[in-house]
Amino acid sequence: EVARTFYDTALIAKPESAEALSAIAIIDILVGKNNEAASYAKAASQAAPGYAPGQFVKAMVDSVMESDLKSRAEAIRKNAPGGNLTADDRKRIQQMNAESNSYGKSSVEAMNLAMKLDKTNLSGRKIPTSQEAFSYFVRHNRLPLLVLPK
């Protein structure tokens, strides 16, 4: 909560802050707000396409979204009464699979760009987990200095 409030405040001061947008994407993924995380990660990558931590975070978030959509589509299949899918079920599964594939492609593109932007630290790496993205973000991000009030 405190971290999220800090970065929300940073966005008020600088709405195009790729650092704040990326941080919120990580926070949202960690608390299970995947759709919100995807929006923030996309905004971060658009705000600063040359910002490696933002692209790395986007790769992670898009990968999570891809997996989540695949899992939800599979759950529909498994929960179909008698294994019989309705036309609506088939349509939802098809939409989820298409969206999942789009996120998968976007994840690979963001990861490739992140590796290109930070060859030293990311070359040859795979798409990160949320913890790996968080660790990289903390180590390689431009975090603001906070001074306690007197």
Residue-by-residue pLDDT tens, the chain, 150 positions: 778 888 888 888 899 999 999 999 999 999 999 999 999 999 999 999 999 999 999 999 999 999 999 999 999 999 998 889 999 999 999 999 999 999 999 999 999 999 999 999 999 999 999 989 988 888 876 554 444 455
In the prediction, which pLDDT does 150 show?
55
Phi and psi (nearest 5°) for 82?
65, 15
In the prediction, which pLDDT does 142 show?
56
Question: Dihedral angle at the C-alpha atoms of 106, 107, 108, 110, nearest 10 degrees?
Answer: 80
The pTM for the full model equals: 0.88
Label residues 94-105 b or e (16+ Cβ within 10 Å = b): eebeebbeebbe
